[in-house]
């Protein structure tokens, strides 16, 4: 349940930005979460519902953009989207450890008033 910590950080950043813009309500929060980030969407949504209570984000919509995994082959340099947890290069068959995308945990934007 580290999603609680992640959402706690997200809401702190969100509220800080809202206050800086003199907004009193947050209507929507958009996040980008990578497929390899180890974050469970259900747990993140649950954490949002619990932690946003009694904050300017109470009742807000949480929008999550999933970022698919991308690897770079250590052998031939090809970039590819892995299928499953074993990152085998579709061209040369080499196992890859270089992840170029998919670990994101970002607060992208918010709608406020």
Partner 1 sequence: MAPTSAPRTIVVNETVLEKNDTVAHRNRALISSWRCLAVNMLSSPGSGKTSLLERTLRDLSPTLPLAVIVGDLATDNDARRLATGNAPVVQINTLDICHLDAGMIERALPEIAPARPRILFIENVGNMVCPAAFQLGEHVRAVLMSVTEGEDKPLKYPTLFKTADVVVLTKMDIAEAVGFDRQTALANVHAIAPQADVVLTSARTGEGLEQWYDWLGQRVEKEYVNGDARQRSAGVS
Q: Considering CB under 8 A, how many residues would be counted as binding partner 1?
A: 39
Work out which of 41, 76, 92, 97 binds partner 1, going by CB under 8 A. 97
> Strand, coil or helix: what is 26?
strand
Distance between CA atoms of residues 13 and 91, nearest Å: 42
Is residue 76 close enough to count as binding partner 1 by CB under 8 A? no
Bridging pattern class, strands 61-67 and 70-72: unpaired
Distance between CA atoms of residues 75 and 45, nearest Å: 39
Is residue 39 close enough to count as binding partner 1 by CB under 8 A? yes
- Tell me the window of 22-30, 46-54, 59-67 that interacts with partner 1 (CB under 8 A): 22-30
The helix or strand, by DSSP H or E, that contains position 18, with its residue range, turns out to be helix 3-20
x-marked contacts with partner 1 along 51-70 as a string, rule CB under 8 A: --------------------
Query: What torsion, rounded to 10 degrees, do the Cα atoms 34, 35, 37, 41 define?
Result: 90
Where along the sequence are the contacts to partner 1 (CB under 8 A)?
Answer: 1-2, 5-6, 9-10, 12-14, 17-18, 21-24, 27, 31, 36-39, 74, 85-86, 95-97, 99, 103-113
């Amino acid at each position: 349940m580290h999603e609680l910590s992640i959402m706690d950080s997200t809401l702190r950043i969100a509220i800080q930005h809202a206050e800086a813009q003199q907004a009193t309500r947050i209507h929507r929060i958009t996040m980008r979460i990578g497929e390899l980030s180890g974050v469970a969407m259900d747990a993140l949504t649950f954490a949002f519902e619990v932690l946003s209570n009694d904050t300017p984000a109470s009742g807000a919509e949480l929008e999550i953009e999933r970022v698919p995994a991308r690897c770079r082959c250590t052998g031939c340099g090809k970039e590819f989207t892995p299928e499953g947890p074993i990152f085998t290069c579709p061209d040369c068959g080499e196992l890859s450890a270089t992840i170029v995308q998919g670990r994101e945990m970002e607060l992208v934007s918010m709608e406020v008033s």
